[in-house]
Chains A and B, each alone.
Chain A
Amino acid sequence: MNALEIENISKRFGDFYAVKKLSFKIPQGTIYGFLGPNGAGKTTTIRMMMNIIIPDEGSIKILDRKMDEKMKERIGYLPEDRGLYPKMKVGELLLFLAEIKGLRGSKAREEIDFWLERFDLSDWRKKKVEELSRGMQQKLQFIVTVIHQPELFILDEPFAGLDPVNTKLLKDIMLEMKEKGRTIIFSTHRMEQIEMICDNICLINKAEGVLEGNLSQIKKQYGKNTVVLDYDGDASFVQSFPEVEKIDDYGKFMEIKLKEQSNPQDLLLKLVGKININKFEVKEPSLNAIFIDKVGVKDEKDTVSH
C-alpha cells in the first residue's frame, strides 16, 4: 500500500505555477526525501498534502483515502515556519494541540506525560513557552508533531536550524517511527541527510518533478563514472583532461564526473606524480552532484545547444 499518492497536481497563483503536473508515490513504511532548490514548489506541495491549500488540478490520496479534514488527525506535520504560542504554558499548549488532532482527555494527558518525560521537559510543564531555550522549543515542536501517533509524517525542512543534539534526536525519532511501520516524507537541501536515511526521493525544480524513484536505483542509472579524489597540491589542470566532463573542486577534495566510455584508470595514471593523492575512489555520483546536474547545469546545456 502507498502511504501517499500524488497524481498530476498543479497549483497556480495568478499566472505563476507554483507546482505543475507533479506526481509521485510513497510506499508505506519508508522514508521519502523531497528535494529541490529554494522556490521550486516544495512547501506549496507539502501544504497541498496537508489540505492547507487546495490544488487546482490533480488528486492527492493519503493512506488510501482521498485527503480531507478528517485525515489531518492521522498526519504529523512539521511546517517549515515553525512556531508555538509564546504566552501559553507548555502543558496547556500540548493539550490544546493534541485536542485539535482529535486526542482528548486522559489519553492526551498520558501522551503528554510520556513525551515530556522522554525529552526531559517534565519540569517545564507549567512554564510559559517563551521562557524555554531555543533548543527546548525545538524539542517541544517535535512533541507536537508526534503526540497523536500519526501514521504519516510530513516534515518540511525538519533539520533547518537544529543544534547537533536535536538533529540526532530528530533523526533517531524518524528511524524509530520507520521501525514501527510509519511513513515519513521530508524536504531538505541537505543531501548527505537524504543519502543517509532516505529510501526514495523526488527532486523538483521550477514547479515540475525532474527525478523520482528509489535512491540507489537512481544512482545506478547515473553509473559508476564518478571519481572522488582526496589530494594535496594544485589540481586545477584536471579540468583540461579530455575524459573529464565536469569537476567539483573543494581545494583538498574533488568530485570528477567522467565522460562516458572513459576509463578512470587513465585518469589515475595522469595524476600520479603531479599531485599528492590521499584517496582515489570510483563510485556512483553523490546526490549533491546529481542535484546540481539536474537543477543547475541542465539549463546551461540548453542555452549552449541553442
Chain B
Amino acid sequence: MKKILSVIKREYIQTVRTKGFIIGTILGPVLMVAIIGVPVLVSLISVGDQQKIGVVDLTQEIFVELDKKLDHRLNDGRRRYILEKIKLSSDIQEEELEELRNSLRNEVLNHNLSAYLFIPGNILEGESAEYVSEHTTDFDELRRIDEALNSVVIEIRLKGEGLDPQKIAKYIKRVGLKPIKLTKRGEEEDTGGTFMYSYIFALILYMALILYGAATMRGVLEEKTSRVVEVILSSLKPFQLMAGKILGIGAVGLTQFSIWGFFGIFAFRYGKSLIPPGAEFNIPRIPGYIFIYFIVFFLLGYFLYSTFFAAIGSMVNSEREAQQLQTPVIMFLVLPMLLMIFIIRSPNSTLAVVLSLIPLFTPILMFLRVCVLLPPFVQVGASIVILALTVLLMMWLTSKIYRVGILMYGKRPNIKEIVKWIRYK
C-alpha cells in the first residue's frame, strides 16, 4: 500500500507541475467564460452596418408602411435598414420585370445593395415575398423583416375588412409562459438556466474524461518508451503501478476541479458587480447535490475509461499508434454527447433510462439526467452500482493486458494475441 502511495505521490507532483496542467487550469475557466460571454459581449459592443435593401413592391401600398415598421436602430442610434423603393411603372410587363430583377441581382452581387425584397402583387392573398441576398443565415435579420412585413400585410388586410388594426392587436396580444422549475426546495423561475448548466457540466465532464484518460495513456507510454518501467517493476507489481498512476492522475483532476470550484464561488460572490447593468444575465441557482454527483460520475467514469487508456498505452510503441487505438474508446464518449440534446429534452423517456444504465454511457448520460430532472433514486443507485462493478471487472481485465503489454516491444498485438495475454499466468 505504501508503494502505491509513493507512485500516486510521484504521479501527482510531476503532473501538477507540468505546463499543461497550469495552462489548462487557467485557460479552462477563461475558455468557458469566453464561450458564454463573447457572443453576448459581441452583440453588445458591435455597432453593425447599415444595410441598404431595395424593395420591389408590386402592390404599391406596402412600401411606406414597411419603411415605418422596419425602424430598427444600430447601437449608435442610426437606422439599421435603409429601404430603397425601386421605381416601377404601374403596368409593368413580365419581360421588363425580369430585366429589373436581373439588374437588382447585379446590384446585390456588386454590394450596392445588401439585399432586395420582392413583394408580389397578390401578397395579400397569401403569396410569399422573396428576400434575395448573398447572406441568408442571419436569422435575427430574417425574423425582423419577416415580422415587419407580416404585420404590415395583416394591417392592410384588416383595414380592407374595415377593422381597426390597433384594436385587433390588443385582442390578439400574446401572453408569456414562464417556466417555473419545481424542486423539493420550492419553485424557481427557469429562463434556460438548467439547460445551460446541464450542458456546461456535461461538457466539462466529457472533456475531463478524455483529457485525463489520455494523460494516463501518455504516462504509461512514456514509462514504456523511456524503458523505466522494468526498473519500477523490480520494486512493485504491475497492478500497483497502474493503479497508482490512475489514482494519481485522478487526484490531479480533482485538484483542478477544486481550483475551478473555489474561483467559481469567488466569482459568484464578488463578480456580480462586474456584469454590465444592461445585460440580462441570470445566474441560475445550481443545487449542491449536482456537484457531488459530478465528482462521483467523474471518478467512476475516469476509472472506467482510464483503464482502457492505460491498456492502450501499454500495447503500443508510439503516440501515433496510441492515437489510432484510442479512437474507438473516444467514440464511446462522443456518442453520449450526440445524445445530449435528446436527454435534456426527455430525460425520463425509456430510451434515456436504458442508455443511462449502460456503464460506458452512464457517467455522462446519468449525470445529465441528474442535472435536468433528478431521476428516481433506484435508477441513479443502480447505474452507480453497475458502473462500479464494470470498473472492477475492467481493472482486472486491463491489468492483465497491461502487465504483459508494458514489457512487449515491437509489433502491435492483434485481438488474438491480446486474448492470449489475458490468459497468461
Contacts and interface: CB of A to CB of B under 8 A. Distances in A.
Contacts of A69: 236-237
B159 interface: no
B230 A84 contact: no
A100 B3 CA distance: 5
Contacts of A88: 10, 14
Interface stretch (A49-57, A182-190, A225-233, A263-271): A49-57
B403 to A, nearest CB: 8
Nearest to B5: A99
Contacts of A102: 2
Contacts of A83: 226-231
A82 B231 contact: yes
Contact of A52 (B3, B7, B233, B420): B233
B232 interface: yes
Contacts of B230: 47, 52, 77, 79, 81, 83
Contact of A100 (B226, B229, B235, B425): B235
Contact of B231 (A13, A56, A87, A144): A144
B26 interface: no
Interface string A18-35: 000000000000000000
What secondary structure prevails in chain A residues at the interface with B?
loop
Interface in A71-101: 72-73, 75, 77, 79, 81-88, 92, 96-97, 99-101
A100 B232 contact: yes
A148 to B, nearest CB: 9
B246 to A, nearest CB: 17
Contacts of B13: 92
A100 B231 CA distance: 11
A14 interface: yes
B407 interface: yes
A47 B223 CA distance: 17
A101 B235 CA distance: 6
A72 B235 contact: yes
Contacts of B14: 85, 87-88
Contacts of A75: 234
B106 interface: no
A56 B425 contact: yes
B6 interface: yes
A41 B230 CA distance: 17
Interface string B204-231: 0000000000000000001100111111
Most buried by B among A50, A56, A79: A79
Contacts of A54: 425
Q: Please tell me the size bucket of the interface on A.
A: 20 to 34
Contacts, number: 72
Contacts of B229: 83
Contacts of A84: 226, 228, 231
B170 to A, nearest CB: 74
B405 to A, nearest CB: 13
A92 B10 CA distance: 9
Given A96-B6, A96-B10, A100-B3, A77 B420 contact: no
A85 B6 contact: no
B138 to A, nearest CB: 50
A72 B3 CA distance: 12
Contacts of B238: 52
Given A52-B230, A52-B407, A83-B229, A100 B237 contact: no
Nearest to A156: B230
B236 to A, nearest CB: 6
Interface string A90-123: 0010001101111000000000000000000000
B227 A97 contact: no
Nearest to A75: B234
Contact of B234 (A56, A79, A86, A96): A79
A56 B423 CA distance: 12
Nearest to A154: B234
Given A87-B14, A88-B14, A50 B226 contact: no
A57 B294 CA distance: 48
Contacts of B235: 72-73, 97, 100-101
A176 to B, nearest CB: 21
Interface string B406-424: 0101000000000010001
Contact of B420 (A14, A47, A56): A14
Contacts of A97: 231-232, 235
A81 B234 contact: no
Given A79-B231, A100-B7, A100-B235, A85 B420 contact: no
Interface of A: 13-14, 47, 50, 52-54, 56, 69, 72-73, 75, 77, 79, 81-88, 92, 96-97, 99-102, 141, 144
Given A83-B227, A85-B222, A87-B14, 20 more contacts: A50-B234, A52-B234, A52-B238, A56-B425, A72-B235, A79-B227, A81-B230, A83-B231, A84-B226, A84-B228, A85-B223, A86-B226, A96-B6, A96-B9, A96-B10, A97-B235, A99-B3, A100-B3, A100-B232, A101-B235
6 contacts: A13-B424, A77-B230, A81-B227, A81-B409, A100-B236, A101-B235
The 4 closest A-B pairs by CB, nearest first: A83-B227, A77-B234, A79-B230, A83-B228
